[in-house]
Amino acid sequence: MSQDNDGRFPDDSAVEVRYPRDKREEQRVDRGGWPWLPGSIVEQCGPDEWYIAVCERSLAVLEDGRPAPDGTAEDDLFYPCCWRDSTEIRYRPAPGAAPASRSGAGR
């Protein structure tokens, strides 16, 4: 964890982040309607702001920006990144874990 990270979401943490999958979702006024996608904390960049890599394979591109064809090696994929505050980030559940309740418990 970098010295600038307050520890709420340490660097390299597996998280879920609100992020649009396509232009239609991106143009929604209500960002709360965007899906939760897998991500990884790159770094904290403000008191309540993190830079996050969105690790959703369907959004990956090649170095030149073209969509990545199926079967592209992981090392050749480039994922989008975004800045989000704590309301748009949550810890990713462990594989096989029970889903969190609607009240937000288990985050």
23 belongs to a structural domain: yes
* Angstrom distance (rounded) from CA 102 to CA 107: 11
In a domain, 105, yes or no: no
Say how far apart CA 4 and CA 36 lie, in whole Å. 26
**What pLDDT is stored for residue 31 in this prediction?**
87
Give the tens place of pLDDT for each residue, 52-76: 999 999 999 999 999 999 999 999 9
Residue 81 lies in a domain: yes
How distant, in Å, are the alpha carbons of 17, 24, 78, 80 from that of 61? 19, 19, 5, 8
Is residue 69 assigned to a domain?
yes
Tell me, yes or no, whether 39 lies in a domain.
yes
pTM for the model stands at: 0.81
Domain of 60 in residue numbering reads as 14-91
- Please give the residue that has the higher pLDDT: either 97 or 94: 94
In a domain, 99, yes or no: no
Q: Is residue 30 part of a domain?
A: yes
Q: What confidence category does residue 97 fall into, taking pLDDT thresholds of 50, 70 and 90?
A: low
Q: What is the mean pLDDT of residues 29-54?
A: 93
Give the pLDDT band of residue 103 (cuts 50, 70, 90).
very low
